[in-house]
């Protein structure tokens, strides 16, 4: 028997992980709507996924705005008649000493990572209840443990982790599952941007310092977006039926302990 075709909405769909997630769902035969702040990069990604043309579309959105989250979900459901899976990949990174953090950095990070994730879920819930669908949120290693000089990002991702658990309990009676994945450093434009913006003029030294912290030592490498996508697609699959309220690390053991 063939697999059932699902409607999947991926926020941050023009980014590194979002795009890999879209590709994997499309390969499986699902319908995917990509949502992202960058209309330009959305067009590029949709063009790159031309092989799946009739099963992929895009909506430009700013998830910081509550009304935009509502529109994003409504447009997806209007086009495809249903919603089975929501993957919240939209996110931004910020780091630096807390004593130097600005209100703008706080607002942007919390609004994209936490508020955007919350309101995307908020508007998707009635549709997911109809399909007994599921949500996968992008948390982080920084949503499981604290790391220095990342208080705002940790606050946002810690929020995503507990939001995930709370929603899982709330929606379990309706047959809707809610999980999060918690990756450490993934080789995406976000990581390259971190190295560029916070590397003190030496991006490679920044990346080398990140790798030096992994338990694998000289064998350490960055996680590939496809590896995170595979975990997300598994969590959204029928085989993962018993898994809800989980914040699953994908981090080479970096949050396992000292």
Ligand X SMILES: NC(=O)c1ccc[n+]([C@@H]2O[C@H](COP(=O)([O-])OP(=O)(O)OC[C@H]3O[C@@H](n4cnc5c(N)ncnc54)[C@H](O)[C@@H]3O)[C@@H](O)[C@H]2O)c1
**Active site (catalytic) residues:** 153
- Minimum distance of ligand X from residue 251's CB (angstroms): 9
DSSP secondary-structure letter at 201?
T
Q: How far apart are CA 51 and CA 233, in angstroms?
A: 20
Asked if 94 touches ligand X (CB under 6 A), the answer is no
162-201 residues near ligand X, rule: CB under 6 A: 183, 185-186, 188-191
Strands of 177-183's sheet in order across: 56-60, 31-36, 7-11, 85-88, 134-138, 177-183, 247-250
- By beta-carbon proximity to ligand X, the closer residue of 172 and 249 is 249
Q: Which range touches ligand X (CB under 6 A), out of 86-94, 126-134, 167-175, 233-241?
A: 86-94
Asked if 18 touches ligand X (CB under 6 A), the answer is yes
Q: How far apart are CA 161 and CA 148, in angstroms?
A: 19
Sequential DSSP letters for 64-118: TSHHHHHHHHHHHHHHHS---EEEE-------S-GGG--HHHHHHHIIIIIIHHH
Among 52, 55, 64, 80, binds ligand X (CB under 6 A): 64
Q: Which range touches ligand X (CB under 6 A), out of 57-65, 118-126, 164-172, 232-240?
A: 57-65
Angle at 24 between CA 22 and CA 28, to 5 degrees: 115
- Minimum distance of ligand X from residue 38's CB (angstroms): 4
| Residue of minimal Cβ distance to ligand X | 15
Asked if 90 touches ligand X (CB under 6 A), the answer is yes
- By beta-carbon proximity to ligand X, the closer residue of 31 and 180 is 180
Query: What would you measure as the largest C-alpha separation in the chain, in angstroms?
Result: 58
The alpha-carbon radius of gyration of the chain (Å, integer) is 18
Asked if 124 touches ligand X (CB under 6 A), the answer is no
* Total chain residues near ligand X (CB under 6 A): 29
* Binding stretches for ligand X (CB under 6 A): 11-12, 14-18, 36-38, 61-64, 89-92, 112-113, 138, 140, 183, 185-186, 188-191
């Amino acid at each position: 028997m063939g697999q059932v075709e699902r409607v999947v909405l991926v926020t941050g769909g023009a980014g590194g992980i979002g795009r890999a997630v879209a590709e994997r769902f499309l390969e499986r035969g699902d319908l995917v709507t990509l949502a992202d702040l960058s209309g330009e990069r959305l067009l590029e990604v949709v063009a790159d996924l031309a092989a799946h043309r009739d099963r992929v579309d895009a909506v430009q959105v700013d998830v910081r705005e509550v009304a935009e989250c509502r529109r994003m979900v409504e447009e997806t459901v209007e086009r495809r008649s249903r919603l089975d899976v929501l993957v919240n990949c939209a996110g931004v990174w910020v780091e630096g000493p807390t004593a130097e953090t600005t209100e703008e950095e706080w607002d942007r990070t919390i609004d994209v990572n936490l508020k955007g994730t919350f309101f995307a879920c908020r508007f998707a819930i009635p549709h997911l209840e109809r399909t007994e669908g599921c949500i996968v949120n992008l948390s982080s290693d920084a949503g499981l443990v604290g790391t220095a000089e990342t208080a705002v990002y940790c606050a946002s991702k810690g929020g995503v982790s507990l939001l995930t658990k709370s929603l899982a309990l709330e929606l379990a009676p309706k047959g809707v599952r809610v999980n999060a994945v918690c990756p450490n450093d993934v080789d995406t434009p976000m990581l390259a941007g971190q190295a560029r913006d916070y590397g003190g003029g030496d991006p490679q030294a920044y990346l080398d310092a990140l790798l030096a912290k992994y338990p694998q030592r000289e064998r350490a490498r960055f996680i590939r977006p496809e590896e995170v996508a595979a975990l997300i697609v598994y969590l959204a699959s029928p085989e993962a039926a018993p898994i809800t309220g989980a914040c699953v690390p994908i981090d080479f053991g970096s949050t396992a302990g000292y």
